[in-house]
């Protein structure tokens, strides 16, 4: 029976000749060294959540979900190290137990750390310096295409680390990742839903003028009345989102935040 893998919404299907579920780094090395048993192309796969065929292959899939162990949480240096198959939501739970959190908080909780480390993906609007989750990766360990072990960090080889953050898996299979983290912060949202047909540009302008009314973490143009942490987003960006909600005829949702979300 063929090995059929389908992504979460059924839009991408693949039938690799081999599916490997490693538990150790040595097993990954064995796959990359044995070309006869594990045919190319070899692709590492996390949650298979992507809407692009980035992990699709008719060769060999390395399913990383079994390598999901937390290795170290350093409360002094504010770093979190784990195997690449650990999901963001699982890592966040482990950090919360130590009153810590990621530097950015993204919506896709089932993204694996290996994907976050090298796929230049998933933005959030609550980053202090940068908006992308991979910007806070401080060390990556991987297995090269020839089966050798390699690593790069901010201290040992920052140039290589920056390149690997956007390698999309083309340079090898990530097996361990270290992130910079920060103390756990409280956040408060108070939504102010408004029927789109009643919302005016004047009201949007008024909302933008109110201090603290828009939270950077609401990446959907959501007018929110209440306290927040972090600086406000660009008023131009928010204005564009709100304008799009007002003028859109493609969405049937009735509230502003839902209308923008479904575009």
**Cα–Cα distance for residue pair 233/121, rounded to 1 Å:** 20
Domain C-terminal end among 149, 183, 217: 183
Same domain for 78 and 49: no
Same domain for 96 and 167: yes
**Cα–Cα distance for residue pair 197/154, rounded to 1 Å:** 51
> What's the CATH number where 27 sits?
3.30.43.10
Q: Is residue 188 part of a domain?
A: no
3-state secondary structure of 28: helix
Domain C-terminal end among 183, 204, 223: 183
Q: Is residue 189 part of a domain?
A: no
Same domain for 214 and 166: no
**Cα–Cα distance for residue pair 80/94, rounded to 1 Å:** 10
3-state secondary structure of 37: coil
Q: Is residue 211 part of a domain?
A: yes
Q: What is the pLDDT of residue 249?
A: 35
Nearest to 39 by CA among 54, 20, 17: 17
Same domain for 158 and 59: no
Q: Is residue 42 part of a domain?
A: yes
Number of domains in the chain: 3
Same domain for 106 and 161: yes
Q: Which positions ≥6 away from 176 have C-beta within 8 Å?
A: 71, 81, 82, 83, 84, 139, 140, 141
Q: Is residue 173 part of a domain?
A: yes
Q: What is the pLDDT of residue 48?
A: 81
Same domain for 70 and 55: no
Q: Is residue 74 part of a domain?
A: yes
Q: Which helix (H) or strand (E) holds 153?
A: strand 149-153
Domain C-terminal end among 13, 36, 64: 64
Same domain for 124 and 55: no
Same domain for 110 and 173: yes
**Cα–Cα distance for residue pair 20/31, rounded to 1 Å:** 8
Q: What is the pLDDT of residue 125?
A: 56
Q: Is the distance from CB of 68 to CB of 90 less than 8 angstroms?
A: yes
Per-residue pLDDT of the chain (263 residues; tens, 9 = 90+): 468 888 878 888 889 999 999 999 999 999 999 999 999 999 999 888 777 777 888 999 999 999 999 999 999 999 999 999 999 999 999 999 999 999 887 777 888 999 888 887 766 655 567 767 888 999 999 999 999 999 999 999 999 999 999 888 889 999 999 999 999 987 665 667 778 788 888 887 887 777 655 443 333 333 333 333 333 344 444 444 544 444 443 333 333 332 222 22
Q: Is the distance from CB of 201 to CB of 256 less than 8 angstroms?
A: no
Q: Which positions ≥6 away from 130 have C-beta within 8 Å?
A: 103, 104, 136
Same domain for 151 and 70: yes
Same domain for 224 and 209: yes
Same domain for 95 and 22: no
| Parent domain of 18 | 5-64
**Cα–Cα distance for residue pair 262/8, rounded to 1 Å:** 19
């Amino acid at each position: 029976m063929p090995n059929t893998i389908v992504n979460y919404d059924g839009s991408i299907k693949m039938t690799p000749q081999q599916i490997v579920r490693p538990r150790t780094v040595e097993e990954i090395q064995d796959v990359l060294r044995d070309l006869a048993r594990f045919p190319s192309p070899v692709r590492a796969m996390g949650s298979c959540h992507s809407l692009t065929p980035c992990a699709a292959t008719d060769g060999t899939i390395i399913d990383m979900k079994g390598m999901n162990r937390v290795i170290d949480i350093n409360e002094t240096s504010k770093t979190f190290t784990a195997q690449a198959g650990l999901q963001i939501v699982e890592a966040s739970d482990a950090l919360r137990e130590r009153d810590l959190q990621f530097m950015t908080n993204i919506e896709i909780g089932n993204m694996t750390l290996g994907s976050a480390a090298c796929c230049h993906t998933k933005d959030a609007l609550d980053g202090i310096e940068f908006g992308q989750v991979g910007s806070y990766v401080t060390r990556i360990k991987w297995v090269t295409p020839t089966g050798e072990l390699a690593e790069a960090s901010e201290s040992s080889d920052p140039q290589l680390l920056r390149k690997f953050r956007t390698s999309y898996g083309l340079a090898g299979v990530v097996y361990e990742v270290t992130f910079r983290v920060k103390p756990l912060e409280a956040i408060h949202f108070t939504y102010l839903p408004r029927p789109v047909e009643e919302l005016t540009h004047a009201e949007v302008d008024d909302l933008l003028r109110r201090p603290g009314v828009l939270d950077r973490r609401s990446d959907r143009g959501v007018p929110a009345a209440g306290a927040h942490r972090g600086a406000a987003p660009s008023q131009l960006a928010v204005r564009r989102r709100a304008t799009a909600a007002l003028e859109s005829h493609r969405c049937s949702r009735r509230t502003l935040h839902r209308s923008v979300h479904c575009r």
